[in-house]
Amino acid sequence: MRLSAVLHLAKALEYCTRKGRALYHDLNAYRVLFDEDGNPKLSSFGLMKTAGMENLIGQMWLLLLQSFLRAGRVATESVIYSFGTLLLDLLSGKHIPPSHVSVHH
């Protein structure tokens, strides 16, 4: 099931990128919803406001902003990197924060 979800998400991201809509620069497990048939769907609204995530969210937005300011747009590389971190989360079954983001508890 996890590999099927990854394939569906990869196709959706490829479609968005091909259409010039690299929208999912901050893709993460909280932006993936499943319908009643178990098919993954990308969401774009903020479901990340869970307890203890606010600091990490702010740091992720800071990294995104720096990338956006350098390129003037959301880079395809940023989408690919975000997909890679999501892939790692899905296949490992754990949330693994990016190594360059410090998480303070």
Task: Please give the Cα distance from 90 to 70 (Å, whole number).
Answer: 30
pLDDT for 33 beyond 80: yes
Catalytic residue check, 35? no
Residue 94 sits at φ, ψ, to 5 deg, of -130, 155
Q: What is the pLDDT of residues 78-94, one digit of tens each?
A: 777 888 888 888 888 88
Percentage of residues of the chain with pLDDT beyond 90: 1
Name the active-site residue from 26, 35, 37, 89: 26
Position 14 scores a pLDDT of 83
Domain 2-92 has CATH 1.10.510.10: yes
Indicate the domain borders of the chain: 2-92
Q: What is the pLDDT of residues 65-80, one digit of tens each?
A: 555 556 555 567 777 7
